[in-house]
Amino acid sequence: MTLPRSDDLAGRLLGERYELATRLGEGGMGVVYRGHDTMLRRDVAVKVFRDGATEVARTTSETHLLASLNHPALVTLYDAHLGAEEPRYLVMEYVDGPTLDERLRSGPLPRPVVARVAADLAEALHVVHQAGIVHRDVKPANVLLRAPGVAGEEFSAKLADFGIAHLVDATRLTTPGTIIGSAAYLSPEQVTGVDPRPSADIYSLGLVLLEALTGRRAFAQEGLREAVLARLSQDPVVPTEVGREWGALLTAMTARDPADRPTAMAVVDGARRLRSESTTAPTSSSATVGIPGSSATRTAVLPSETAVLPSETA
């Protein structure tokens, strides 16, 4: 059977083992359900793919990618059914918590919490990049939050959804020049349709962390054309309210030239320092920022307040 957007498989048993319950999310490639593994008696997340000739290679690629990665900040793949019999699905670790996108609807996060999220996600990206993979869609909706069970910690973060991931130097699964990703978090090079590199994920993560700190999206253009023009003509505004050290890290991560951005491990180091240091926002409205390991330095007069931006529907 082909799975259109309107189908709801809640209540169905897949593979004589996985009971599907509530729908957790939906995207262009399929629907994710909360499920229950009746054999191992644990909750799972089940991604049921929509079928189409152009998606077969991609769903198989996603399975191989997930199976090859192992890190506490990456969602673990448990099982896969990608044979001729439909529906085709993946069974993954269920994270009992909100997405970062859902959490941010209540407002910005405290700096120590953002530093924890930054360290978790940058470590995950380091593992991903070491495997020769570019995620290509780092955004709040793809960040899952889980209570860490440690006193004084609000949650830890996990990176999910490798549905549009790209293998560096591998055969493309998309047409050259195609823009892939979510408009609000695209890097400048992504909007031109060139082959993505790990530095593109660093840029997107910088935008995610900036939004987590301020509660405002740096690029709120809803249309792809508007997003392209904005990304090629301006840098994200890093307000002084985030503090000098956070400003230095975020400015480097969102440098327009990919060569000027830090590596994932440099971001991990910076985030760990920020967790251990008490930072205060400077009173001056002008700052020069930089980060070790990156040549990015930007001087700008930054506003202390900007308008609240509308949420993304894509």
List, for residues 152-198, the tens digit of each pLDDT value.
Answer: 667 899 998 876 566 554 433 344 444 555 788 989 988 887 878 99
Q: What angle do CA 267, 62, 196 make, to 5 degrees?
A: 50
- Residue 151's pLDDT is 64
| 82 and 110, same domain (yes or no) | no
- Of residues 263 and 223, the one with the higher pLDDT is 263
Instruction: Count Cα atoms within 13 angstroms, Cβ side, for 16.
Output: 0
Cα distance between residue 209 and residue 125, in whole Å: 14
Whichever domain contains 230, its CATH number is: 1.10.510.10
Per annotation, catalytic residue among 37, 120, 137, 201: 137
pLDDT over 60 (residue 216): yes
Mean pLDDT (the chain) is: 79
| 69 and 141, same domain (yes or no) | no
**Whether the model pTM is above 0.85:** no
List, for residues 96-150, the tens digit of each pLDDT value.
Answer: 999 999 999 999 999 999 999 999 999 999 999 998 889 988 999 999 998 766 6
Q: What is the mean pLDDT of the segment spanning 63-90?
A: 83
- Residue 58's pLDDT is 60
* Domain range enclosing 76: 18-93
pLDDT over 50 (residue 278): no
Domain membership of residue 314 (yes or no) is: no
Q: Tell me which amino acid residue 151 is.
A: A
Whichever domain contains 63, its CATH number is: 3.30.200.20
Q: Respond yes or no: is residue 169 known to be catalytic.
A: no
